[in-house]
Structure 1
């Protein structure tokens, strides 16, 4: 795996500026945060706004520091060790435990991937008509070709530009009438209800906000950054780089996750002020939300909302497929990395293609991936708990992190995030069937 890492890259200027501009600092964290607002997330946030109005907006504010902490820990693990989450789990934990975690990740990712592709196809059909399944196949093909054949630095640039699609949801808020006083109160005064419906939506929001695939992806992208920059090395081998890199990771993560949660908040606000206010409380998919907006908020809101679904899907699909391939590859000792040529990482790229192909196939099976959008978020919320427990243990494990074990504050917030996710999952099962 290290054979490519030491090779010079003629395409990149390896000199890192002493005071990098914000756009140079933003990378793995920004892309990870933006991919969090995928069509599955849009469906979840739309359902939250339609069903409970502004009553769940507080979750987005509450979850932001929790999300930042766990993502920063994931990034630090990758940057310190030069390995992703799966690679570190393989090195420090029993194989059956690692296989179980990776299997849970794959199941959640493939369901999420299929549901996202279905939502993108449905959104494009709403916009221009035509065959939804053909659109699903085309979206799958385009994302695979980009991941496999684009040079890594160019591909990252494409993903950064795709984050702009999220501004569609900021725009929708200003198309509809918003009671900002009520919004402000709901953000800071939670109205918690221990009912099955409420707990399911809370777990779904947390599951789509704090998702396992995001941990794996951001850690691996830090590893990719080390491969791409000749002077960069894992911090366990180059401790003098730690202060600069940890500062970059923190800025990147907090900005990226803040952007993600702000967009999610705008989606909840839009659907609360329109759908919920007009008695539309049952939204199954992101495409349903876009369609329901048209007679209430007008054509412009509908078009912006639908375009955003396609744009965010193009960003999220490669992240879902890529995180699956990274996890599989590190577990089974493959050469992994989007910075590698196809000939040097055939199994890795094959895993990306297969994961995407299975997602496409779900749209042609008796399983309805569109209805799985919301439930994929619930599954992610449950799967996240064991992954987070292992990450928290790993981040304080001297054998793994050496002198770069996470500090007291970050560790505390990381454990709070883990406990909150566990409590939400327990609450869901405790209220189930009541």
Structure 2
């Protein structure tokens, strides 16, 4: 689908922006998938508005990193996986591919659990049956892909608007205190000093800045038919970054809304024990006094799970083709990934009951954070290489900022491992 979406060369700037709108929303899906819900609900219920600063920081990091990803794809005509294959040895590439596959499976694990829970809440389908039903989403993905990339983007944006609408209504119903909410966006030392808060903070970072999104974005920005000249690439980069920044601000609203809802409803009334999505669903209506709140919550969760399915499938295909030059049918790729993700859900549910899936959901997001440096480090390395990037090589200030972001992620991950090791 490279250069398959036409970009107008004249007319009002609004038409060029509309032509570039889409890839940013595709990658923003990963920033509000069911894995985010688990970490945000637990964070809001236990610590009130404290972790809003982590959501804001994660979102700012995401804007920078996704901008780098778009820069790489537009400047070189290669996605991140292809750039790795060109630059690194085969053993290194195999290692990076395996790590990325683990990240995609961890993400898919969250989607399986989230979608299965939504099906149970809305239609009474048992969790195990719901998890198995999620395997048939391959039909949806194939139908959308056969209709072209614009149809895929339109479907994703429509579901994002559904999620946005659901949470906008819930925010009005919950009416959180504005002063407390704004104070939550100011960083606090407790986030680092409290091991429980740090665990959730790293889970939020892992759920927000997803490694496979960096591979995905560097590929799908190339679907636009911009002139493959220095001037055309510069213009395309400006519009692509604008697109992803707008989309990620929407993701910030949704992520923050989940945590604010948990803080305003559960933490404020002393229910700091709420960690599971099902608990939140069951308590929202009686604690808010509005039956519609729980239904909106479940509808948004289902839309989130379905949306994440589409982008995870695309990312998996891009990663496998980029690293290995291996191309398999999308339906086969989807069934393999989803099949691997379903197994731990079935096992954990059978052994520990449905409560065990909540812990599995948060753990999947921490695993994503652990994988993140293995995507960030090559990305920063490539965009700072004049020989590869040409006129679009990243400026020094951006490289320094990106290194600080990568360093912060690595330091937080190491601290978490040390805390877990000490028990």
Q: Out of 40, 49, 62, which is 1:45 matched to?
A: 40
2:176 corresponding residue in structure 1: 178
Which consecutive unaligned segments of at least 5 residues does structure 1 have? Answer: 336-345
- Which one has a larger percent helix, Structure 1 or Structure 2? 2
Q: Out of 78, 86, 89, which is 1:83 matched to?
A: 78
Q: Is the 8 A contact 1:199 1:431 kept in 2?
A: no
Is 1:364 the counterpart of 2:358? The answer is no
Q: Out of 110, 114, 119, which is 2:109 matched to?
A: 114
2:352 corresponding residue in structure 1: none
Distance 1:162 1:219 in 2: 23
User: What secondary structure does 1:48 align onto?
Assistant: helix
Root-mean-square deviation over aligned CA pairs: 2.3
Distance 1:16 1:292 in 2: 53
1:58 corresponding residue in structure 2: 53
1:166 corresponding residue in structure 2: 163
| Cα displacement (A) at 1:351 | 1.7
Question: Please, which moves more after superposition, 402-411 or 130-139?
Answer: 130-139
Tell me: CA distance 1:15–1:186, structure 2 relative to 1, closer, same or farther (3 Å).
closer
Q: Is the 8 A contact 1:40 1:286 kept in 2?
A: no
- Count matched residues: 409
Q: Out of 374, 378, 390, which is 1:386 matched to?
A: 374
Q: Deviations over 1:347-385 (max 9, x none)?
A: 455323321233344433347655321111111111101
Tell me: CA distance 1:41–1:17, structure 2 relative to 1, closer, same or farther (3 Å).
farther
Distance 2:113 2:268 in 1: 28
Is 1:352 the counterpart of 2:334? The answer is yes
TM-score (ref. length: structure 2) = 0.89
1:154 corresponding residue in structure 2: 151
| Cα displacement (A) at 1:16 | 4.9
| Cα displacement (A) at 1:314 | 1.0
Distance 2:138 2:174 in 1: 33
Distance 2:358 2:220 in 1: 29
Question: Please, which moves more after superposition, 40-49 or 423-432?
Answer: 423-432
2:202 corresponding residue in structure 1: 203
Q: Deviations over 1:188-213 (max 9, x none)?
A: 25242412211101111111111102
Is 1:307 the counterpart of 2:299? The answer is yes
1:342 corresponding residue in structure 2: none
Q: Is the 8 A contact 1:80 1:404 kept in 2?
A: yes
Q: Is the 8 A contact 1:79 1:222 kept in 2?
A: yes
Q: Deviations over 1:132-152 (max 9, x none)?
A: 344334443234432454422
User: What secondary structure does 1:58 align onto?
Assistant: helix
Distance 1:25 1:163 in 2: 17
User: What secondary structure does 1:307 align onto?
Assistant: helix
Distance 2:150 2:320 in 1: 23
Distance 1:143 1:309 in 2: 19
| Cα displacement (A) at 1:388 | 0.7
Which consecutive unaligned segments of at least 5 residues does structure 2 have? Answer: 350-355
Distance 1:245 1:5 in 2: 14
Is 1:20 the counterpart of 2:14? The answer is yes
